[in-house]
Structure 1
Amino acid sequence: MTAIHQAAAQGFASQADAYARGRPEYPEAIDGWLRATLGLGPHRTVLDLGAGTGKFTRRLAETGAAVIAVEPVAQMRAQLANALPAVQALAGSAEAIPLSDASTDAVVCAQAFHWFANDRAIAEIRRVLRPGGRLGLVWNVRDESVDWVAQLTAIMTPYEGDAPRFYKGDWKRVFPAEGFGPMALHSLPYTHVGPPRQVIVDRVMSVSFIASLPGAEQERVRAALQAVIDGHPALAGRQEVAFPYRTEAYSCARLA
């Protein structure tokens, strides 16, 4: 199996619980996109590639399609298997997908494609997709037009190092990709509502390069997050907060 980035291997392994708690879900309207754009439903097979703890896997299963999840980090895969025992969860990577040729109607990568946006992964995705099948790429993107959300980003950014990030846009360099049609974007608003410890602290602490920090540095990050929660008028003293996102869903077809 191809080695994964150190930040992902260490961070996601050590903070799988925080990832499951703190990562946002997805807007209900994404179900319409899965069915209409990706063609998911009964008698279809979809691969959830880089499935993590199963946050998006659940949405795929709700379409009635047969779902296969591939996740390289054992701790995250264990979370998924525990939460979704009916889903086949396999060890594997984007560059070495443990499926046969033309075995899926769709491949979906939620919060993951930026980690493996390379020619080898695209070739593997093309291999396991049937002609006419769809590739779907989904990200929940923080709405940094909200000032306290921008403050959270400012706390995180100094630690990111060379970790692949959606916002950098490097993942787009593999497109247009051989064997695939043009990419289309569908954008949806989403708000993650819950206790600040869950939707802010657990969310940030589950970021790969934060989760892989030494314990003392993690505590400094926690303290900085708590200072934002305690000091911002939109957050201070609230038992429940609303974290704004934009869900970006990209799709393209595997050409015949």
Structure 2
Amino acid sequence: MSDGVHRAAATGFADGADIYAASRPGYPAEVLDWLRDCLAIGPDSKVVEVGAGTGLFTRLLVDTGASVVATDPVPEMLAHLASTLPGAATAVATADALPLPDGSVDAVICATAFHWFATPQVVAEFRRVLRPGGALGLIWNVRDVGVPWVRRLSKITDRYQDDAPRQKSQAWRAVFPAPGFTPLHETVMRYDHAGTAEEVIVGRTLSTSFIAALPEDRRAVAVAEVRAMIADTPALAGRERVAFPYLTKAYDCRRIE
């Protein structure tokens, strides 16, 4: 990301900001415990969220009472965030050039975002803005592919991926262990995103960057495949509400002096 924003993110997230805000899953309530116990975030903390998007995770940071700066390279995403979370400062910025002084924050957070910019240069930038002993937190909602219909859905959407970075590739792990940081510690939580199938499955599909960035005709084909899968799945077809199961995986480490 040091040379710019990946085209799937720049196009897909800009064009799909509305559906992203409406259809992405939130996070389990236990995340507040993770923020407090693993990252030591509280009312006196200064936090920067990198890749904040429309603010789905930012609202949890604001709830801790911390002073929050939300950054993202896509202005359309931050416009949603600013309209719903006036208590958070925002800045259009890439992960390798944060508009913050050295050692100025207690924590850096990336929520469902770090895979887009996982480079040694970005981790070094995080270390620059963190105070000694400050925390780096990475968190994702990962589809529970142990559920057959979720696995089938992923097979449909994976065909459209192209070269867009994704958490599931685990390529982001290549930058760890990182110089100047303690080893990563993992916390796993469960989360069910409940709603209509159109909201939590079709909407979630449309909010995926590489689906949103498709030409309209190919995007329509992908959505038709997803709707056919729903109609063919007894656990989903005709249900007023369904639950999309996730494993929320959170990682934390500390800046070494």
Contact 1:2 1:96 in 2 (8 A): no
| SS in structure 2 at match of 1:20 | helix
Give, in angstroms, the shift of residue 199 of structure 1: 0.3
CA RMSD in angstroms comes to 0.8
1:127 aligns with 2:128: yes
Q: Which residue of 1 aligns with 2:100?
A: 99
Equivalents in 2 of 1:200, 1:230: separation in Å? 12
Q: Which residue of 1 aligns with 2:7?
A: 6
| SS in structure 2 at match of 1:10 | helix
- List aligned pairs for 1:61-76, cutoff 5 A: 61-76=62-77
Equivalents in 1 of 2:161, 2:199: separation in Å? 21
| SS in structure 2 at match of 1:141 | strand
Give, in angstroms, the shift of residue 172 of structure 1: 0.3
- Structure 2: tracts of 5 or more residues without a match: none
1:109 aligns with 2:82: no
Contact 2:49 2:70 in 1 (8 A): yes
Give, in angstroms, the shift of residue 2 of structure 1: 4.1
| SS in structure 1 at match of 2:253 | strand
Q: Which residue of 1 aligns with 2:177?
A: 176
What is the identity, as a one-letter code, of the residue corresponding to 1:87? A
| SS in structure 2 at match of 1:109 | strand
1:47 aligns with 2:66: no
Q: Which residue of 2 aligns with 1:86?
A: 87
Task: Tell me the TM-score normalised to structure 1 length.
Answer: 0.99
| SS in structure 2 at match of 1:187 | strand
Equivalents in 2 of 1:37, 1:145: separation in Å? 28
- List aligned pairs for 1:218-233, cutoff 5 A: 218-233=219-234
Q: Which residue of 2 aligns with 1:154?
A: 155
Equivalents in 1 of 2:148, 2:72: separation in Å? 34
Contact 1:2 1:93 in 2 (8 A): no
What is the identity, as a one-letter code, of the residue corresponding to 1:248? K
| SS in structure 2 at match of 1:185 | strand
Number of matched pairs:
256
Contact 2:140 2:250 in 1 (8 A): yes
Give, in angstroms, the shift of residue 244 of structure 1: 0.3
The one-character-per-residue Cα deviations of 1:115-152 (angstroms, maximum 9, x if unpaired) are 00001101110000000000000000000111111111
What is the identity, as a one-letter code, of the residue corresponding to 2:124? A
The one-character-per-residue Cα deviations of 1:183-237 (angstroms, maximum 9, x if unpaired) are 0000001100001111001101111111100001111111111111111000000
What is the identity, as a one-letter code, of the residue corresponding to 1:184? H
Equivalents in 2 of 1:222, 1:141: separation in Å? 20
Equivalents in 2 of 1:119, 1:185: separation in Å? 20
| SS in structure 2 at match of 1:3 | coil
The one-character-per-residue Cα deviations of 1:43-78 (angstroms, maximum 9, x if unpaired) are 111111000000000001101111110010011010
Task: Tell me the TM-score normalised to structure 2 length.
Answer: 0.98
Equivalents in 1 of 2:136, 2:205: separation in Å? 28
Give, in angstroms, the shift of residue 36 of structure 1: 0.8
| SS in structure 1 at match of 2:159 | helix
Give, in angstroms, the shift of residue 86 of structure 1: 1.5
- List aligned pairs for 1:210-225, cutoff 5 A: 210-225=211-226
Q: Which residue of 2 aligns with 1:246?
A: 247
Give, in angstroms, the shift of residue 110 of structure 1: 0.3
Q: Which runs of at least 4 in structure 1 moved beyond 2 Å after TM superposition?
A: none
| SS in structure 2 at match of 1:180 | coil
- Structure 1: tracts of 5 or more residues without a match: none
